[in-house]
């Protein structure tokens, strides 16, 4: 609920468990007052007086600009006395850069606000738009706050508008500025870092004076740093303590900063990567920034994760797919790599049908001259030398066996050894006369240019139109380097990276709208573009190219800090594992893969009879738990980074049933760590765990805990917990 106190010029935003308060102060600036545990708006006067006046600049002081350095602000200004990192920087036509933003007007609207050309929250109860005016340029800023009564996520973004007659250069435009002025609390900063094959590992370090900057300049959100930051109170844990999350719904180069300043206030902000950014804004034009999802939790990281999971499910993921059972796929990549023909594929399809798998996904190598990763990208026509009878033959085989068919594309890329590149060499991102920087021997298409996006839309559409395809895996396998387009003048090259992302979103929107019955899965060399922006178009993404079950426990644990398990594609692969060389039991691989959108990434024909029987059981199990995967509340019980166990459980919203997966990395005699406390159950209810042969109250399972039964190295437990 959004309330406005006219007398105090105070905005009071209340979500499920949080309040967010700001007020227009004596010098007309929008001052941040409070963000934390839910309060009543009847306390607005108290908050404005104590928390507000303590930091407010004094209007009658001729030096008041300098006092803005102490003031928690809703939009950090520049070169006027606030020396912290600014939120928005405007350069006027005469080259002067300084801003002081003051309140102009506001409006409160019902529902969410659609964002042109970018992913955004599909729903909210109300949206507040506060318009600020810059004292030194003809620009206005709309600060937007989308609030839902039943959610702990507050969605923010801003727009910069040129209301003058001359162009200005926007040198920086973050999406939000949030200040945490409560100096009682010492925060640690949690980020999800990694690299290819070990994405989204949580790293926590104390926040101290100076600026913590999380960033990607890779052109996409990246394996290395997810566009997410959480500030967690000292001593907060999985299920206790306060934390604040800041997640960008954005897939491009980004920055998120946390600046702890001299007076104990922490300023958190973020949005489009500001390092090489600039945007020429002509008279009458508006620049919209991507949305950021802020979350407050008093129930530790687990509470924050569950609030984010609900948010992504109810407000971001396509409603058509969010609660629909995900296809159980078999993907041929690790089974064949580029080396396949009809026979090999047919054998996998036949076996998949016998085992209950429902979709066969044909990965890289089916098109153009694509026998290795050095050629063919951009030529989206089937290679009939490899696939006799074309895609139709494979699809017919799937249909005969009762399977659906999925197909891999890498729409944003081009190989130099391709017909597309030979015809349109200038469509690749490169500067004429300069040796291009290659990644996986490929170049990126210039998606800032409409004709290029149009062409790819047509090429992919033709394949989807002419074939019965129910699933697309949309890959992206290199980073962006040159950041240059021949189509923009020099004073607009700073727009390149963001314009590329808009081109990607444009294609994703057009394809998902043109083919509403096709399920799109995201991928970027594994989990390189796993972000809230991509989730808007792709209900799930390939979580990582590392398919080793033990490594996956860490990757899935870290990913779940922000993203719901249903957004993670998790496949059982062959052993020795192709990335680590490790051998783990087939059952363990199935157990870990069941905590997501499950599937197989191996040659099913090479499985032993015993393993095939396990696949049949895994598929049955998956169908039994699908509702928990899609809608359940996740409780992380034992951390694979810091213990010998990975344990997680999913609990139904009504707490009538739950599903538990545990993995023990090493078997030790006389292991002391074996007591495990369940979470999220109803203390008053009685539950039965069939696999253990126990019946107990929720209270006992949560407070007395369970002694984990003995397992061998790398073994797994899976339990179904049912109310009796
Ligand atoms: C990326 C993906 C893999 C596979 C290959 C194909 O690495 O992450 O799953 O699709 O590309 O080239």
pLDDT of 262: 86
Of 72, 132, 127, the closest CA to residue 102 belongs to 132
Q: Which of 531, 545, 548, 626 is catalytic?
A: 545
- Phi, psi (5° rounding) for residue 380? -85, 55
Could you give the CA distance from residue 199 to residue 301 in angstroms, rounded to a whole number? 19
- What's residue 196's pLDDT? 98
525 in contact with ligand 1, CB cutoff 6 A:
yes
Angle between the N-to-C axes of helices 549-560 and 586-593, in degrees from 0 to 180, rounded to the nearest 10: 10
Q: What is the DSSP string of 364-389?
A: S-SBTT-SSTTB-TT--SB-TTTSTT
Helix (H, G, I), strand (E, B) or coil at 311: helix
Any idea which residue has 């948010």 for tokens? 311
Question: Distance from the CA of 106 to the center of ligand 1, in angstroms?
Answer: 48
| Closest residue to atom 7 of ligand 1, CA basis | 525
11 close to 130: Cβ distance less than 8 angstroms:
yes
For 423-437, what is each residue's pLDDT tens digit? 999 999 998 889 999
Residue 425: how many other CB atoms lie within 10 Å: 13
| Ligand 1 atom at minimum distance from 523 CA | 8
Determine if ligand 1 sits within 6 Å of the CB of residue 228: no
Exactly one of 82, 446, 475, 531 is catalytic; name it. 475
Ligand 1 centroid distance, CA of 560 (Å): 22
Q: Binding-site residues for substrate, please?
A: 196, 363-364, 440, 473-477, 523, 545
Residue 577 CA to its chain's centroid (Å) = 27
Q: How far is CA 412 from the centre of its chain?
A: 20
Residue 174's beta-bridge partner residues? 271
Sequence ranges of the binding site: 196, 363-364, 440, 473-477, 523, 545
Q: How far is residue 681's CA from residue 687's CA, in Å, rounded to a whole number?
A: 9
CA-to-CA distance for 171 and 85, rounded, in angstroms?
Answer: 13
Q: Which of 198, 375, 525 to mutate to test the pocket of ligand 1 (most atoms within 8 A of CB)?
A: 525
CA of 610 to the centre of ligand 1 (A): 29
Q: How confident is the model at residue 521 (pLDDT cuts 50, 70, 90)?
A: very high
Q: Known catalytic residue: 475?
A: yes
The 3-class SS string of 515-541 reads: CCCCEEEECECCECCCCHHHHHHCCEE
pLDDT digits (tens, 9 = 90+) for 601-614: 999 999 999 999 99
Residue 289 pLDDT class (50, 70, 90 cuts):
very high
Nearest CA-CA partner of 632 in 160, 197, 309, 253: 309
Which atom of ligand 1 is nearest the CA belonging to 601? Answer: 9
Compute, in angstroms, the gap from residue 525 CA to the centroid of ligand 1: 5
Distance CA 678, CA 700 (A): 9
407 lines ligand 1 (CB under 6 A): no
408 lines ligand 1 (CB under 6 A): yes
Which residue out of 366, 408, 527, 544 has the highest number of ligand 1 atoms within 8 Å of its CB and is therefore the one to mutate? 408
How many CB atoms are closer than 10 A to CB 49?
Answer: 11
- Tell me, rounded to whole angstroms, the distance of Cα 77 from its chain centroid: 29
Average pLDDT, the chain: 96
pLDDT average, residue stretch 517-532: 98
| Residue 355 CA to ligand 1 centre (angstroms) | 24
Q: Which of 98, 58, 96 is nearest to 76 (CA)?
A: 98
d(CA 242, CA 235): 9
Long-range contacts of residues 35-43, Cβ cutoff 8 Å, at least 24 apart: 35/178, 35/179, 35/180, 35/244, 35/296, 36/182, 36/242, 36/296, 37/242, 37/296, 37/298, 38/14, 41/3, 41/5, 41/12, 41/14
Q: Residue 184, Cβ neighbours under 10 Å: how many? A: 6
- Known catalytic residue at 310: no
Rounded (10°) CA dihedral 569, 573, 576, 577: -20
User: In Å, how far from its chain's centre is CA 390?
Assistant: 36
Read off the pLDDT band of 6 (50, 70, 90): confident
User: Cα-atom radius of gyration of the chain, to the nearest Å?
Assistant: 26
CA of 281 to the centre of ligand 1 (A): 39
pLDDT at 263: 85
Cα(338)–Cα(565) distance, rounded to whole angstroms?
Answer: 30
Residue 139 C-alpha to ligand 1 middle, in angstroms?
Answer: 45
- pLDDT at res. 186: 83
Contact yes or no for 33/72 (Cβ under 8 A)? yes
CA dihedral 625, 626, 631, 634 (to 10 degrees): 50
- The H-or-E segment that residue 132 falls in is strand 126-134
pLDDT value of position 672: 67
Tokens of 183: 């100096």
367 Cβ below 6 A of ligand 1 = no
Asked if 302 contacts 561 with a C-beta cutoff of 8 angstroms, the reply is no
- Mutation pick for ligand 1 pocket among 523, 538, 568 (CB with most ligand atoms within 8 Å): 523
Considering only CA atoms, which residue is closest to atom 2 of ligand 1? 525
Does residue 708 register a pLDDT over 90?
no
364 lines ligand 1 (CB under 6 A): yes
Axis crossing angle, helix 450-466 with helix 496-514, rounded to the nearest 10: 20
523: Cβ below 6 Å to ligand 1? yes
For a mutational test of ligand 1's pocket, the pick from 363, 472, 544, i.e. the residue with the most ligand atoms closer than 8 A to its C-beta, is 363
Model pLDDT for residues 326-376, shown as the tens digit of each residue = 999 999 999 999 999 999 999 999 999 999 999 999 999 999 999 999 999
- Measured distance CA(165)–CA(522) in Å, rounded: 42
Instruction: Confirm or reject: Cβ of 29 under 6 Å from ligand 1.
Output: no
CA-to-CA separations, 526 to 199, 321, 478, 521, 709, in angstroms, rounded: 9, 21, 11, 11, 34
Instruction: Name the maximum alpha-carbon separation found in the chain.
Output: 84
Count CB neighbours of 166 within 10 A. 12
Cβ distance 107 to 34 under 8 Å?
no
Counting other chains too, the contacts that 107-113 makes at CB distance below 8 Å and 24 or more residues apart are: 108/2, 108/4, 112/146, 112/155, 112/315, 113/144, 113/146
Tokens representing 106?
């506001």
pLDDT at 288 over 80: yes
pLDDT of residue 181: 79
Residue 30 reports pLDDT greater than 80: yes
Rounded to 5 degrees, φ, ψ at 128 are -100, 130
pLDDT at 302: 98
SS3 299: strand
Does pLDDT of 154 surpass 70?
yes
> Picking from 26-35, 500-509, 664-673, which range would have the lowest pLDDT averaged per residue?
664-673
Percent of the chain with pLDDT over 70: 99
Rounded distance from Cα 362 to ligand 1 centre (Å): 11
- Percentage of the chain beyond pLDDT 90 is 94
Closest ligand 1 atom to 373 CA:
12
**Closest Cα to atom 1, ligand 1: which residue?**
525
């Amino acid at each position: 609920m959004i309330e406005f106190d006219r007398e105090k010029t105070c905005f009071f935003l209340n979500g499920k468990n949080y309040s967010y308060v700001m007020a227009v102060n004596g010098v007309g600036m929008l001052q941040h007052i409070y963000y934390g545990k839910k309060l009543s708006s009847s306390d607005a006067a108290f908050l404005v007086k104590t928390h507000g006046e303590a930091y407010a600049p004094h209007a009658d002081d001729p030096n008041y600009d300098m006092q803005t350095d102490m003031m928690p602000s809703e939009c950090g200004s520049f070169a006027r006395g606030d020396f912290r990192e600014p939120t928005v920087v405007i350069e006027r036509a005469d080259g002067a850069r300084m801003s002081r933003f003051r309140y102009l007007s506001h409006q409160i609207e019902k529902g969410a606000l659609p964002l042109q050309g970018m992913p955004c929250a599909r729903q909210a109860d109300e949206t507040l738009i506060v318009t600020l005016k810059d004292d030194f340029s003809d620009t206005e800023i709309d600060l937007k706050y989308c609030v839902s009564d039943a959610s702990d996520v507050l969605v923010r973004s801003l727009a910069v508008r040129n209301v003058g007659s001359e162009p200005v250069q926007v040198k920086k435009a973050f999406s939000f500025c949030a200040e945490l002025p409560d100096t009682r609390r010492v925060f640690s900063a949690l980020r999800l870092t990694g690299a290819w094959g070990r994405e989204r590992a949580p790293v926590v370090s104390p926040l101290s004076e100076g600026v913590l900057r999380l960033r990607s300049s890779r052109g996409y959100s990246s394996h290395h740093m997810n566009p997410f930051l959480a500030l967690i109170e000292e001593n907060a844990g999985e299920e206790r303590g306060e934390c604040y999350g800041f997640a960008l719904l954005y897939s491009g180069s980004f920055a998120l900063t946390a600046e702890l300043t001299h007076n104990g206030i922490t300023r958190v902000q973020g949005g489009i990567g500001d390092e090489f950014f600039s945007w020429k804004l002509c008279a009458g034009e508006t620049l919209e920034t991507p949305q950021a999802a802020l979350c407050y939790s008093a129930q530790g990281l687990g509470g924050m994760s569950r609030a984010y999971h609900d948010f992504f499910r109810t407000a971001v993921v396509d409603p058509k797919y969010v609660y629909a059972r995900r296809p159980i796929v078999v993907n041929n990549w690790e089974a064949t790599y580029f080396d396949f023909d009809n026979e090999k594929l047919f054998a996998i399809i036949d076996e998949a049908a016998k085992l209950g798998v429902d979709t066969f996904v044909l990965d890289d190598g089916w098109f153009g001259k694509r026998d290795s990763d050095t050629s063919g990208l951009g030529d989206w026509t089937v290679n009939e030398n490899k696939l006799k009878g074309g895609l139709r033959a494979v699809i017919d085989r799937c249909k005969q066996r009762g399977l659906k068919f999925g197909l891999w594309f890498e729409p944003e890329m081009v190989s130099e050894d391709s017909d597309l590149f030979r015809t349109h060499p200038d469509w690749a991102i490169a500067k004429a006369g300069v040796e291009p920087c290659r990644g996986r021997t490929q170049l990126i298409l210039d998606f800032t240019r409409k004709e290029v996006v149009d062409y790819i839309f047509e090429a992919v559409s033709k394949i989807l139109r002419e074939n019965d395809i129910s699933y697309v895996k949309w890959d992206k396998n290199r980073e962006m380097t040159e950041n240059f387009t021949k189509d923009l003048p020099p004073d607009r090259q700073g727009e390149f990276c963001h314009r590329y992302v808009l081109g990607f979103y444009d294609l994703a929107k057009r394809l998902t709208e043109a083919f509403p019955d096709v399920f799109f899965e995201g991928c970027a060399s594994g989990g390189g573009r796993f972000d809230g922006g991509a989730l808007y178009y792709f209900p799930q993404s390939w979580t990582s190219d590392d398919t080793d079950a033990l490594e996956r426990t860490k990757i899935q644990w870290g990913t779940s800090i922000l993203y719901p398990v249903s957004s993670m594609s998790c496949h059982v692969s062959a052993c020795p594992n192709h990335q680590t060389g490790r051998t783990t039991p087939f059952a363990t691989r199935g157990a870990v893969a069941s905590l997501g959108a499950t599937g197989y990434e191996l040659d099913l024909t090479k499985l032993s009879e015993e393993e095939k029987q396990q696949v049949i059981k895994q598929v049955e199990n998956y169908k039994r738990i699908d509702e928990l995967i899609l809608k359940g509340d996740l409780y992380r019980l034992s951390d694979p980074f810091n213990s010998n166990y990975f344990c997680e459980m999913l609990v139904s919203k009504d707490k009538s049933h739950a599903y538990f997966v545990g993995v023990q990395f090493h078997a030790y005699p006389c292991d002391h760590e074996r007591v495990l406390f369940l979470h999220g159950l109803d203390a008053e209810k009685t539950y039965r765990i069939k696999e253990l042969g126990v019946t107990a109250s929720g209270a006992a399972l949560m407070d007395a805990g369970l002694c984990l039964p003995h397992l061998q190295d790398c073994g797994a437990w899976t339990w179904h917990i049912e109310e009796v």
